[in-house]
A and B are shown apart, each in its own frame.
Chain A
Amino acid sequence: MKPFDYVRPATVSDAVAAAAQSGAVYLAAGTNLLDLMKGGVSRPDRLVDVTHLDGLDGIERLADGSLRIGALVSNADLAHDADFARSYPAVAEALLSGASAQLRNAATVGGNLLQRTRCAYFYDTASRCNKREAGSGCDARGGENRTHAVLGWSDSCIATHPSDFCVPLVALDAIVEIEGRGGRREIALDELHRLPGDTPERESVLEPGDLIVAVRLPPAAREFAPHARYLKVRERTSYAFAVVSAAAALRIENGKIAEARLALGGVAAKPWRARAAEDVLKGVAPTADAFQEAAWRALTDAKPSGDNAFKIELARRIVVRALTLAAAGTPARLSALPASPFASTSGAIHA
C-alpha cells in the first residue's frame, strides 16, 4: 500500500484545515475507501480520520420538527432507531436493504452519501476511466455495462451512484450540512451529487476540505410516514447493489394524492429525483393508471448507455410497484427482507 499520513484532528475546524490540502481525504468507517486504497484505485497522501470528532454521532429532533442526523451515525444505528424508523420508514427500509449487517454496523451516514460508484471499470485500474483519471476515456462504454446508467449519463461516464440510503433521502428533500473553509453551509442533497457531463471526476459540489457534518430531514418529511416505501431489485436476495430501486412517498388526503415524492436508484450518477412524475400524481386518486403515467414520465428521458435497455422497462415497473405499495400503506413491521420483492414471502427468516 502506498504510504500515507494519518491524522486525527480534535475538532471539526482542525479536520477541515487538515483535509483542505491536495491529496487528503476523510476517513470515517472506510468501508469503501480502504477497499479503493487496497486496489490502488484511490491513492491518497493523507487520511484525516474524523471518527473521533465530537458531536457528529447524534440523532436529534429540532424545534421546527426536522431531524438532524450526525454524519458519524452508523447505518445500522440509524435504521434501528425506533422513532426514526417510524417517522421515515422508507429510509430505514433502504438502509437495511444495503450491503450486509457487518457493513451497516460500520458504515456512516456521511460516508454513505460520498461512496464511489461500483462501475467495474472505475475499480479496474488498467481500464480507462474518466472518473478515476480525468480525460483518460471510458471503457465502460462498449464494455460490460448491463447495469450502468440509463439517465443523466454522458459520453464521458455511464457510472451509477450505488447508495440505497440516498434514494428516499433525496425524495424527502434531505438537506446536507457542510463545514468548509468558509464556515458552515447547507445544500439540498439533490444538489450534492453532480451528473458527469464532461467532468465525471467531479462527483459532488464539495470543495477541498468540505466535511459533511449532518443530514437533515425537513419537518414535512414526516408527513409521508403512513405511505412511504423503498423497493430494490437486485441479483441476489441480500448483499447486492440495486439493479434499479425506487423510493415512493405519498401524502394522501380524502382519497387523493396531495403530494407525491419519487426517486430512483441505480439509474444515474446521482439519486434520481423524478419531479415530473410527482407532478403527474398531484391531486389525483392513487390508481394503477396514475402510477403507470407517473412511471412513463419518470423515464421519459431515459436511454440505454449499453446493454442495459432492460433497466428502463424495469425502472418503470419498479416505480409502479413502489407507488402501489406506498399507496397501500406503510406496514406496521419492517419485513425480514427489507425492500425486497420477496418481503412478503413467508419463510423469509433473514436478510
Chain B
Amino acid sequence: MPELNLTSAPAHLRHGSNIGQPLTRRDGVLKVTGQATYAADNHPPGMLFAVIAAASIAHGRVTSLDVAAAKRHPGVVDVMTPDHKPPLAIDPEIKTNPFVFRMEALQSSEVRYANQPIAVVIAETLEAATEGAALLAPRYEAQPPLIGLDAGESFVPPVVGVGNPTENHRGDVEAGLVSAETQIDATYETPPQYHNAMEPHAVVAHWDGDKLSVDMPTQGLKLSLARIAELFGIAHDKIHIRSPFLGGGFGSKGLMGGPPVLGIMAAKLVGRPVKLVLRREQMYGPVGHRAPTRQRLRIGADGEGRLTALDHHARTVSSTFDDFYEPAADASHTLYAAPAIRTSHDAVRVNTGTPLFMRAPGEATGSIALESAIDEIAWTCGIDPLAFRLKNYAEVEPITGKPFSSKALRACYDQGAARFGWAKRPLQPRQMRDDAGLLVGWGMGTATFPALMFQAEARAAIRRDGSGVMEIGAHDMGQGAWTALAQIAADAVGLDIGRVAFKAGTSDLPDAGIAGGSAHTATAGAAIHSAGAAVIAKLADLATNDERSPLFGAGNAGVIARDGRLIRRDDESRGESYAEILARAGVAEVEARGTGAPNPAAMEEYAMHAHGAVFAEVKVDPELSQVRVTRMVGAFAAGRIVNPRMVQSQLFGGMIWGLSFALHEEAVTDRRSGRIMNANLGEYHVPVNADVPPLDVITVEEHDPHVNALGIKGVGEIGITGSAGAVANAVWHATGVRVRKFPIRMEELLV
C-alpha cells in the first residue's frame, strides 16, 4: 500500500525493535507530576472566564434574560446573547458536510433541549461569571417536550451511523423463522448514556487580529480547524489548535460542538483571551450522547441448534433538529452464520441534544441485545452458550458472504474459555453458590468491531546528526498515542525510539485523520510507516548513487535500515550510518511525506473485523438482589499489537465500560420536563474500583495481511462489545431471571 516501499520484502521487515514492546507511557511522568498541559490549564495574560447559561426547559423559547442584573455583578465584563454576539460567517444550522452537526451558537432564542446554551457570561473570575449566569434568571415560553422512545410518529431514517444503510438483509428471514424448530422473540432496551470524559470540554481562545489560537481537546484537529475556519470566515493558516492531551474523548470530542465555538465567539466579543469550561452537568446536552434503543430480536434455530434466521430491529431517537441514528441492529451483520439475516432501524425525534458516536456506537448497544438473545436461544435449544456460538461460527461474513481478512475468534473462544474455566459451567441457571451463599453465574459474549481506516498524512525527516523526526497531527486521548505511534515511527525510520523526535497534537502538523472508529493507530500508523519508508528511500538514494559509499550500486531495494544505519541486504557487514550519508552528501536533512488510507480493493474483497470472547462471573445476593462482577476474562484478536501494555489498558477500559453498560449507566430523564436528573458523577453511576474485579486480558496472535501495511485492527472500542452481554448473561445464569432492560436494576431481580 505505501507508494514508496523500501524493499519487496514484507513491509514490516524492520519492525520488532520498537513495535511490540510493552513500553510505559512516554507522557506518564508529565501526567503524574501535573506537567501535562490540558486545554483548561492554559492562562494567557489578560484571560477572562466565560460561563454558559443553560436552558432549564427542553422545548420552547427564551423570552427574557436579565442581562442588566448579570452585568451589574462585580467582575462581569459582558454577556453574550442572541442579540449581542459577534457575527459568524455561516449559519451554524447549515450542514456543509456529513461530519458537521448543527450546534447552538446563540443563533436564536429557540430551545431544543434541556441544558442547551442560551447565553454566555464573561467575567474577570470564574466565580463572577458563574454568578452572572445565575443572575440572568431566564424566562421561557415552554412547550411540551418530546421524550422517550415512544415520543411520536416513528420514521425510517435514510441512513444510520455514518452512512450505513438503514436496512440490510440476506436470505428469507420469515421463511427461516417458519422453518425453525425453536424461536425466540425478545425485546431489549438500552438507556441514554453520556460520555462523561474525566476532562470536561474546554477551550481557551485567543484572537490576535485575524489570527486565532485555540487550546481545546479534540479527537479531530483538522476537522475542528476546518469547522472553525468556515464558522469564523478565516483561512486555515490563521488558526492554530493545540490539543496535546485529552482527558478522554470517547467520541464526544471528535466533531466541533457548540461550546468551544461559544468560547471563541466570546473571545472575539471582548477582544481578550477567554477560557470556557463546561460544568459537569452541561456535558449532558450539547456535546453528544449515546441514544437510547429498543431492540427486538427474532431468532430461529433448527433441531441441531443451527440458526435458521436472525431478525434484528432497533428503534432509536435523534434530536428534533439533526440526524444521528445509533446503528444498533448492524451488530448482527458479522457474528453468527444465520442463512437469513435482516437488520432494520426506525426512530423518533425527541427534545434532546443530538446523539453522537459514543465508544462503539451501534456495536455496544447492539451487542448487549444480540449477545443476550443468542444466550436465550441457546438456552431454548438446551445448548451451552459457547457450544452454540461455535456451532454457528461464521466462516464468512454472514451479511455479505465475503471472506474475513483474518479471524482468530475460535482461538479467542478457546483461550478465553480455558482461562475462565468455562467447561465447568452448569447449563441450568441458579445452580451455583459461593461459601457465603451468594448466587454465582457465568456468562459470555462475543466481541466484534470493524477494522476501519481513515486518511492521514505524516512527515518524516532524518537529520544531519542521524536522528529522526516524525510529524503527524495525531491525538492522545489517554489511549497512548504518544507512545504507540512513536514506536511505529521509530521502526519506520530504523532508529531507536529515543532518537526520533515525535511531534503530534497540533493543527499545523500533517492531518492524522480523526481519532475514532478504533482506527487511529492503524491510520496514523500507516501514514507514519509510509513516510518513514519514503524518507529512508531518499536516504538510500543518496548513498547507493554515490561511489564513495559502501552501499554504492546496491539499489534502493538492496539496503536495509536498522539502528540508524543503512546496510546491504546481500552483505550486512557493509553499511554506513545515516549521519555519514548526510555529511558526505552535504545535506542537512532529508524529508519525505507518506499517507495512510484504506485500501478499497482489499475492502471490496474482504470483511475486516477484530473479534473477541468475554467471559464474566457475577455474584448476586439471593434476597437483596445486589449484583457484583467478580471475575472477567477477555480474549481478543485484533491483528498486530503495537504496544501490549497500552492495548491491555484499552481492553481493560472497554471491559469495564461493558460492565458499566450492563449494571450501572443510565441518564435518568424526567418524564415530564425532559431534564436529566442525575447529570453528575455522584448519581450517574459508573463502576468504582470496588465494582471492578481483577480483569484478565488475553491478546490472541493474529496476522492480517489485508487490513493495512502494519496489520493493525484497532482495540479502542471492541472491549465494550461482548463484555456487556457477558455480564448480563451471567446475571441470568446466577438468578434465572432474564432482564431485558439495561442497566439491570435490583428490583428486576427481587423474586
Contacts and interface: CB of A to CB of B under 8 A. Distances in A.
B93 interface: no
Nearest to B680: A123
Contact of B435 (A38, A313, A318, A346): A346
B683 A118 contact: yes
A193 to B, nearest CB: 22
A334 interface: no
B170 interface: no
Given A143-B671, A337-B690, A318 B624 contact: yes
B630 A347 contact: yes
A321 B438 CA distance: 13
A240 B687 CA distance: 10
Contacts of B130: 1, 38
A285 interface: no
Contacts of B623: 317, 320-321
A234 B671 CA distance: 24
Interface in A209-262: 233-240, 243
Interface in A295-351: 310, 313-314, 317-318, 320-321, 337, 340-342, 344-348, 350-351
Task: Give the bracket for the number of chain A residues in contact with chain B.
Answer: 35 or more
A124 B677 contact: yes
A236 B688 contact: yes
Interface residues of B, number: 44
Contact of B670 (A143, A240, A341, A347): A143
Contacts of A240: 685
Nearest to A119: B677
B431 to A, nearest CB: 18
B342 to A, nearest CB: 35
Given A121-B677, A144-B677, A351 B690 contact: yes
Interface string A33-70: 00000101000000000000000000000000000000
Most buried by B among A235, A243, A314, A347: A235
A80 B660 CA distance: 31
B750 A342 contact: no
Interface string B660-700: 00011000111111010110001101011111011000000
Contacts of B745: 146, 235
A350 B56 contact: no
B664 A236 contact: yes
Contact of A126 (B56, B127, B690): B56
A2 B689 contact: no
B688 A314 contact: no
Interface in A15-46: 38, 40
B127 A144 contact: no
Given A120-B683, A243-B746, A314 B671 contact: no
A306 B387 CA distance: 44
Contacts of B672: 139, 142-143
Interface in B392-441: 434-436, 438
B479 to A, nearest CB: 25
B134 interface: yes
B670 A234 contact: no
Contact of B619 (A234, A313, A345): A345
Contacts of A340: 626
A255 B672 CA distance: 55
Contacts of B74: 3
Contact of B687 (A236, A318, A320): A236
Given A120-B683, A146-B747, A235 B690 contact: no
Contact of A236 (B435, B671, B685, B693): B685
A241 to B, nearest CB: 9
Interface in B75-93: none
Contacts of B434: 345-346
A127 interface: yes
B628 interface: yes
B131 A2 contact: yes
A115 to B, nearest CB: 13
A235 to B, nearest CB: 6
Interface in A277-308: none
A121 B134 CA distance: 18
A238 B677 CA distance: 21
B621 interface: yes
B7 interface: no
B689 A345 contact: no
Contacts of B677: 120-121, 124, 143-144
Contact of B624 (A100, A238, A341): A341
B438 A345 contact: yes
B626 A234 contact: yes
A314 B675 contact: no
B134 A2 contact: yes
Interface in B724-751: 745-747, 750
A113 B621 CA distance: 30
A245 to B, nearest CB: 11
Nearest to B281: A39
Interface string B142-154: 0000000000000
B668 A238 contact: no
Contacts of A345: 434, 436, 438, 619, 628, 630
A234 B693 CA distance: 17
A171 B219 CA distance: 54
B529 to A, nearest CB: 42
Contacts of B619: 342, 345
Nearest to B621: A341
A340 B619 CA distance: 13
B625 interface: yes
A41 B363 CA distance: 39
Contacts of B670: 127, 139, 143-144
B50 to A, nearest CB: 16
Given A127-B675, A143-B671, A233-B621, 12 more contacts: A38-B130, A126-B675, A143-B677, A144-B668, A310-B747, A313-B750, A314-B624, A314-B747, A318-B624, A342-B628, A345-B628, A347-B693
3 closest A-B pairs by CB: A126-B56, A310-B747, A237-B690
9 contacts: A125-B56, A142-B672, A144-B670, A235-B626, A237-B628, A238-B688, A317-B623, A341-B624, A347-B693
Interface of B: 56-57, 74, 127, 130-131, 134, 434-436, 438, 619, 621, 623-626, 628, 630, 663-664, 668-673, 675, 677-678, 682-683, 685, 687-691, 693-694, 745-747, 750
